[in-house]
Amino acid sequence: MYEQQHINNLTKWCCTIQHFPIFALPLQEVLCMKALKQYEIPVSGLKIGVHEMSYIVDWRFFDDFEESLVKQGHFEVQVLLDKQHDHWMVTFDIEGHVDTECDRCLAPISLPVGCVNTIIIKYDEDGNTILENEDILYVSRGIQTWNIAELIYEFILLCVPIKRVYDCENEQVRPCDMQMLKRLTGEVATSGEDPNWNALKQIDLNK
């Protein structure tokens, strides 16, 4: 009797959650949607004119993107949205740093990164969201909210240099491994300072 009642209750609960599509999503995806919700802009409620928005991006932001190429960092993002009747012009001004390893000396560094990108948003009369090119994005005219998290993520990736190095000579505390840099430039005789080199010299390669 108890088991049958339990089954009936479970059946009712399963039928109820069918009305809530979010339960059909994996838990990680649900949490990601919730975390990135702060990057939604209620565009339908914005008046014609210029609107300014500010966001802070840190490691929690990058955690929400699976296999993100950036794991640690801190950025300030200024968004300028100029809304007109037939289009919007949106400018992203991003300044901050990426925590990574120096490609020259392998020391941990905070690599300064910054960029300014502008895109144009136009209305697709057919109601489809398509990307025409790098600078123009089409959205449905009935769009209520616009999430800019993915655009911020892509802009940050684009402005991170392929070679992650920067000149730190003018900084009071240099993050780079200066000893390693001297070795690479030949300023230090490695065989005279590194005991490992002396050990390697004793190996008879003719055996």
Cα distance between residue 130 and residue 124, in whole Å: 8
Of the ranges 50-64, 83-97, 150-164, 180-194, which one carries the lowest mean pLDDT score? 180-194
Q: Where are the alpha helices (DSSP H) in 72-189?
A: 149-159, 178-185
- Span 58-101, pLDDT tens digits: 999 999 888 888 989 999 999 999 999 999 999 999 999 999 98
Q: Where are the domains of the chain?
A: 27-187
Could you tell me the pLDDT band of residue 31, with boundaries at 50, 70 and 90? very low
Could you tell me the pLDDT band of residue 181, with boundaries at 50, 70 and 90? low
Cα distance between residue 29 and residue 27, in whole Å: 5
Cα distance between residue 203 and residue 196, in whole Å: 11
Could you tell me the pLDDT band of residue 2, with boundaries at 50, 70 and 90? very low
pLDDT value of residue 11:
42
